[in-house]
Amino acid sequence: MPETVALTVTRYRPEREAEPTSQTYEVPFRKDWVVLDALNYIKDKVDGSLSFRWSCRMGVCGSCGMTVDGQPKLTCAAFLSDHLPGPVRVEPLRFFPVIRDLVVDIRDFMRKLEKVKPWIIRPEEKPLSEGEYRQTPDELDAYKPFSMCINCMLCYSACPIYGLEPSFIGPAAIALAQRYNLDSRDRGAAERLEILTGHDGIWQCTFVGECSAVCPKSVDPAGAIQRYKLTAAVNSLSALLPWGQR
């Protein structure tokens, strides 16, 4: 095992440089360290000016996504030992505008997320006296995998379609729309139909499949999109039939 490992980190200080550069830091190697630990070591002991986002350190908050050796990863789950002998290349998430060093602008994703209405929509709530909305285990299973999304945006960073067509609503937003569409308590599928089947919706996806490959929570956004394509196609076909209805 090496004593130290090198990290080549992207630096971008807009007040100083027009384009990102990279800087190499030497950090102690420890078997139980992840890339985020190394970045925090740099921040605390070597160079306090390095900027990056992080919060929970345990794959729940979804804020520490970066590109590690070319792959979109949560840095709290990327062990240094898997990236030996180094130098470990740490870059900001691809396809997002960089604000500073490893910090990217996530507003585009936040806007898209809001557009698909990722909440339970009901025409009217039943009175409390009628009790809770019950679900069977099977009804829960129908949407549970999609509810595991932590909005880390690794899937956007892995999706070349999003890189080429930034208006694409994207994997996580569609998976989250499906999380509610498939929820037995939800009645909002029709409200989400327009945005999901519109110009920037599911038909932009050509099933590269990398979104599902990089997802740290096994959400399978690619599967969600393909399933919704089938639903949308059946929907529009049945609308053409005289006895069909939307």
Residues that bind other proteins (CB under 8 A): 12, 14-15, 19-20, 70, 94-95, 97-100, 105, 138, 141, 160, 163-164, 206-210, 213, 220, 222-223, 226-227, 229-230
CB of 202 to other proteins, least distance (A): 11
Q: Which is nearer to other proteins, 29 or 143 (CB)?
A: 143
Q: Are 102 and 66 in contact (CB under 8 A)?
A: yes
Long-range Cβ contact pairs of 101-104 (< 8 A, separation 24 or more): 101/9, 101/10, 101/11, 101/12, 101/13, 101/50, 101/51, 101/52, 102/9, 102/10, 102/39, 102/50, 102/51, 102/52, 102/53, 102/66, 103/51, 103/52, 103/53
Q: Which is nearer to other proteins, 82 or 141 (CB)?
A: 141
How far is C-alpha 124 from the geometric centre of its chain's CA atoms?
Answer: 32
Q: What number of other Cβ atoms are within 10 A of residue 109's Cβ?
A: 19
Q: Determine the longest span between alpha carbons in the chain, in angstroms.
A: 73
Distance, in Å, from the CA atom of 246 to the CA atom of 82, rounded to the nearest integer, reads 51
CB of 31 to other proteins, least distance (A): 28
Q: Which is nearer to other proteins, 120 or 230 (CB)?
A: 230
3-state secondary structure of 91: strand
CB of 4 to other proteins, least distance (A): 29
Bridge partners (DSSP) listed for residue 73: 66
CB of 206 to other proteins, least distance (A): 7
Distance, in Å, from the CA atom of 36 to the CA atom of 51, rounded to the nearest integer, reads 12
CB of 70 to other proteins, least distance (A): 7
Residue 196 tokens, joined: 């999901």
3-state secondary structure of 155: helix
Residue 47 tokens, joined: 């160079």
Q: Which is nearer to other proteins, 4 or 167 (CB)?
A: 167
Q: Which is nearer to other proteins, 141 or 194 (CB)?
A: 141
CB of 12 to other proteins, least distance (A): 5
CB of 220 to other proteins, least distance (A): 7
Q: Which is nearer to other proteins, 59 or 163 (CB)?
A: 163
Q: Which is nearer to other proteins, 56 or 230 (CB)?
A: 230
